[in-house]
Amino acid sequence: MTDFAEHRAEFNDPFEEQYPKDPFGNSDKYEVIRRAVSNAKCPVFKVYDRDLKEEFAIKVFSKRRVIEHGWRSIEQTNEEARILRKLNHPLIVNFINSWQHRRRLYLAMEYLPGGELFDLWKILNSFSTSLIRFFTAQIALALDYLRSQWVVYRDLKMENMLFDSEGYLKLIDFGASKELKKHPLARTYTICGTLAYAAPEMLSGGGYDYAVDWWALGVFCYAIAYGNYPIHPVEDYREMRILIDKKIYRMPDGVPRDLAQVIEQLLNKNPRRRAVGVETLNNLDFFHGKIDFEAVERKKYDARAFFTKDDIFKLPNSHLRQWVLSASPDMRPSRGSFPQMTSERRYRTSSRVLLRQPNMLSSCDIGYGSPNRSRNPLQESTIRDSVFRFTRQASATNLYSSPVIGSPHLSRSIDPVMPSVMAPYRRLSHMVDGSTSTTRPSDYVIRPNEDREERRYKKLPNGWSENQGAREDDDVRTAEVQPPKVVIVWDKNDPNLRRKSRLAAQQNI
């Protein structure tokens, strides 16, 4: 009994530091209003705090799924809460609280009612110069603050930019972020984020720093200016790297020269020559003397004033159009609240993370095979947001028939979802795991190429072999084939049992 108690005392909860136990009943004081975001990894719920009389957003993690993805997933889940806890900026979502229960982790954040910038982009397709300047200034200020806090965001995209009630953007979802060591030469090596926004130095597999976020800002500027991405993402990140190397960014005719200069400097393939920082952008003609970055950071501008007649003309007859028109000098309204957009989400991108393993990826392809996979090309052209592991498979055909994690058709079966019929308000602690699928996130693997016999990974009776200790770096590991273990079945009635066991121990069997 004493040994058991000591064993329990030695056990440490890997989440307890960032997600403490819930002694004050946080889950009971929140009432679930609705599911705000559906995600293959974890859902986000809009909740009502009965004590503070306010609405918040709560991100829910399943402990089982986080642990199944391995220690890297545990570290990244803790890293997200750790980073959000230390950040305090008007253009970044506010952290409220984090706690845990027996089966789930909870991350409470500020609720942003305005919806995603992606929805507005799909309505307008391209923005006016004033809106581009306004939106780019906000994201640049947020990235500059993250750089001052030694944080690499690594997942900049329009789906992670939400409008607050005043029409200003805020960055959300720090699940792929990384806090670097406080050293000017600090680097990280994880290939993560979204292929459409991935920087060339990240795709090359070498170390990178904050400059990857400013490359993504250049892709963002290009997209909102021209209505599409500079390079349409492909399925393989190595092919995407080749396309970026061959690409020569020439701005279309009729584009303002000052805007083209911003995009060209942000999309510089050399990270040392890339425009990084608000001070650098403020010296460019596109921003200098035309917008006050300090006023943007303090939210002194009325966001409606940046919508031009062309923008308003492309808006549908909706609450958003009425909200923008209310800022015209003829109507002279009081400062209103930014309405939530409800447009259809088409061609959404999804963030993925793949821990780079050089000896493995040089001869492996990412298994995306699915008979009914999404028709969204960007959904199929991104890197997975969890660690690809070599795990148990029923047969080799599962590598080609299993759907990709994160596909829309799969999220209904493995997400921890709320019951389809429930009261408008429900205690957060009453949420149940609605998973009915026998497929686990860790069951999806990278399949080797069949033409590289010397690099093929063999399947053992107890699963795929994997070498866990290749390097001390947090972001790089090398997978190697392990020889199968010899299992000896001993006969208890054998008179030479003791001698055989001693010989087996000497031979490390």
Asked if residue 276 and residue 136 are part of one domain, the reply reads yes
Which run of H or E residues covers position 431? none
Residues 167, 30, 113, CA angle at the centre, nearest 5°? Answer: 10
Would you say residue 191 lies in a domain?
Answer: yes
Asked if residue 165 and residue 98 are part of one domain, the reply reads no
Confidence of residue 284 (pLDDT cuts 50, 70, 90): very high
What integer pLDDT is reported at residue 367 of this predicted model?
26
Would you say residue 189 lies in a domain?
Answer: yes
For 194-244, how does the pLDDT look when each residue is reduced to its tens digit (9 = 90+)? 889 999 999 988 899 999 999 999 999 999 998 889 888 787 888 888 888
Question: Could you tell me the CA-to-CA distances from 350 to 181, 220, 356, 380 in Å, in that order?
Answer: 28, 15, 19, 9
Interval 475-493 mean pLDDT: 50
Would you say residue 333 lies in a domain?
Answer: no
Q: Which residues pair with 62 in a beta bridge?
A: 104
- Percent of the chain beyond pLDDT 70? 60
Would you say residue 46 lies in a domain?
Answer: yes
Q: Between 16 and 415, name the one with better pLDDT.
A: 16
What integer pLDDT is reported at residue 320 of this predicted model?
80
Which two structure tokens, joined as six digits, stand for 498? 């003791």
Asked if residue 86 and residue 34 are part of one domain, the reply reads yes
Helices and strands (DSSP H and E) totals, the chain: 18, 16
Residues contacting 33, CB < 8 A, separation 6+ = 45, 46, 47, 48, 55, 424, 425
Interval 299-304 mean pLDDT: 92
**SS3 track for 178-231:** EECCCCCCCCECCEEECHHHCCHHHHCCCCECCHHHHHHHHHHHHHHHHCCCCC
Q: Closest by alpha carbon to 199, among 184, 179, 214? A: 214
Asked if residue 134 and residue 106 are part of one domain, the reply reads no
CATH number of the structural domain spanning residue 240: 1.10.510.10
pLDDT for residue 460 is more than 70: no
Q: Per mean pLDDT, which range of 83-97, 150-164, 362-376 is the poorest?
A: 362-376
Rounded CA-CA distance 141/452 in Å is: 47
Asked if residue 274 and residue 192 are part of one domain, the reply reads yes
Would you say residue 409 lies in a domain?
Answer: yes
For the chain, the residue count is 509
Asked if residue 275 and residue 137 are part of one domain, the reply reads yes
For 344-355, how does the pLDDT look when each residue is reduced to its tens digit (9 = 90+)? 333 445 555 443
Q: Which amino acids are annotated catalytic?
A: 155
Q: Between 105 and 385, name the one with better pLDDT.
A: 105
Interval 128-157 mean pLDDT: 95
pLDDT for residue 408 is more than 50: no
- Percent of the chain beyond pLDDT 90? 35
Would you say residue 342 lies in a domain?
Answer: no
Asked if residue 198 and residue 265 are part of one domain, the reply reads yes
Q: Per mean pLDDT, which range of 44-53, 146-155, 237-246, 343-352 is the poorest?
A: 343-352
What integer pLDDT is reported at residue 339 of this predicted model?
60
* Domain boundary pick from 441, 460, 479: 460
319 DSSP assignment: H
Cα 131–chain centre separation: 25
Asked if residue 131 and residue 92 are part of one domain, the reply reads no
Asked if residue 259 and residue 132 are part of one domain, the reply reads yes
* Domain boundary pick from 440, 460, 480: 460
For 360-393, how does the pLDDT look when each residue is reduced to its tens digit (9 = 90+)? 222 222 222 233 333 333 433 333 333 233 233 3
* Domain boundary pick from 279, 310, 341: 310
Q: Closest by alpha carbon to 259, among 232, 223, 216? A: 223
Task: Decide if 200 contacts 269 (C-beta within 8 A).
Answer: yes
Would you say residue 346 lies in a domain?
Answer: no
pTM reported for the whole predicted model? 0.66
**Boundaries of domain holding 253:** 117-310
Helix (H, G, I), strand (E, B) or coil at 306: helix
Residues contacting 403, CB < 8 A, separation 6+ = 370, 372, 373, 409, 410
Task: Sort 410 into a burial class: Cβ within 10 Å, 0-12 / 13-18 / 19+.
Answer: buried
What integer pLDDT is reported at residue 311 of this predicted model?
86
CATH number of the structural domain spanning residue 77: 3.30.200.20
Q: How many domains does the chain have?
A: 2
Which run of H or E residues covers position 10? helix 2-10
Asked if residue 81 and residue 190 are part of one domain, the reply reads no
Asked if residue 377 and residue 252 are part of one domain, the reply reads no
Would you say residue 215 lies in a domain?
Answer: yes
Task: Sort 450 into a burial class: Cβ within 10 Å, 0-12 / 13-18 / 19+.
Answer: exposed
Asked if residue 169 and residue 236 are part of one domain, the reply reads yes
Confidence of residue 12 (pLDDT cuts 50, 70, 90): confident
